[in-house]
Amino acid sequence: MAEPHLISGSRIDDAHPLATEDQQMAALIAALGAIGGTVTANQGAVGAAAWLMHERPTRATAVLHRNAIAAADKIVDFVAGSVIIANVAGTQGFLLANTAHYMTAIPGNRWGPTVPAAIDSVTTTNDGVNTHVVACTIAQAAGAEWYDLFLSTDAAPKWVARITEAQRAAGGEILVLATYTAGASAGVINIGCLGTGIQTTNVVFAQNNAYRPDLGTITAIDCTGRKLLHVMVKLALTDLRSAPSLSLVPFYQNPLVAADWHMGVRLPMPLLNDLGQPLECVYALDVSGVAALKLLIGEIAGQGAAATVHVQAV
């Protein structure tokens, strides 16, 4: 039998052990009114029961939220060859002749950038003409909304402009700092000025923060009327040739702007590093007042690593 609800440190049935059901309900209504409850005599048993259910929420059935996830829910970092540059002896640029220039691009989205691609370099032709441009062929990054471009004579090049995915695909020119104009071939951006912004070694590019809560493959968890979310996580491995690791990142939906998802506290799991760190564990998230959330994989590593996540709302 369920434990009786407590009012002011005592049980309702203990206060009136011989009272009739109507008398006990009247006593309950009076007690609720004394502590700020909203139940009235006209609401009767239905109102009292509803108040108790609000105080003692039911436990929902556990459901599978994510299954066999093997990669982080982020834009994938550029690799070597994602950005290729070449000298163009144009007449519209402002780059010096016979000078080494370094360039790279970093894809990102509204949640943040990835990390820099391998930096490519080219030396402009020794022709005495200081109107060179550098042609940059930039690959598409799935899920990227924009690309930050870096070009300067520094080994760690400086920021020169940001272009959108549509601009990257169409091709264009950067002849003035932070200014895109149409032109060039598809997928090629001609850069004719030096960057003056932050360098690729800046701390903001040290980690990939281009999370993807916008992925249609991640179903939002309805938290309406719930207080806690039990998150049960399992990491499957094929063997231990490499050390396993896993982190979860909760993203909470903005109640005013449904398309906006805000990152909560990252849940790192240092698996097998010490006693009490097995490959299956549970977390409790406070979801009071939260409409919906999504659980993303922040980082995942290990031989054949695959994460599975079940959730249960309380």
The 3-state secondary structure of 32-95, one letter per residue: HHHCCCCCCCCCHHHHHHHHHHHHCCCCCCCEEEEEEECCCCECCCCCCCCEEEEEECCCCCCE
pTM of structure: 0.80
Pairing of strands 63-69, 306-313: antiparallel
User: 66-99 pLDDT, tens per residue?
Assistant: 999 999 999 999 998 999 999 887 788 999 999 9
For residue 124, pLDDT beyond 60: yes
Least confident of 104-113, 209-218, 241-250, 267-276: 267-276
Could you tell me which residues are beta bridge partners of residue 113?
108
Q: How many CB atoms lie within 10 A of CB 149?
A: 26
Pairing of strands 120-123, 172-176: unpaired
In percent, how much of the chain has pLDDT > 70? 82
Delimit the CATH 2.60.120 region(s) of the chain.
Answer: 63-73+212-313
Q: In what order do the strands lie in the sheet with 228-236?
A: 63-69, 306-313, 228-236, 280-286
Identify the band that residue 3 occupies on the pLDDT scale cut at 50, 70 and 90. very low
Identify the band that residue 5 occupies on the pLDDT scale cut at 50, 70 and 90. very low
User: 14-69 pLDDT, tens per residue?
Assistant: 444 455 656 655 655 555 555 444 444 444 444 444 434 444 557 889 999 999 99
Contact 110, 145 (CB under 8 A): yes
User: 96-109 pLDDT, tens per residue?
Assistant: 999 999 999 999 99
Per CATH, which fold does 63-73+212-313 belong to? Jelly Rolls (2.60.120)
User: 286-297 pLDDT, tens per residue?
Assistant: 999 999 999 999
Report the candidate in 43, 38, 49 with the shortest Cα–Cα distance to residue 12. Answer: 49
Query: What are the backbone angles phi and psi of residue 78, rounded to the nearest 5°?
Result: -60, 150
Could you tell me which residues are beta bridge partners of residue 218?
none
| pLDDT score for 51 | 39
Q: For residues 286-314, give the mean pLDDT.
A: 96
For residue 1, pLDDT beyond 50: no
Mean pLDDT (the chain) is 86
Kindly state the tokens that stand for 262: 């805000």
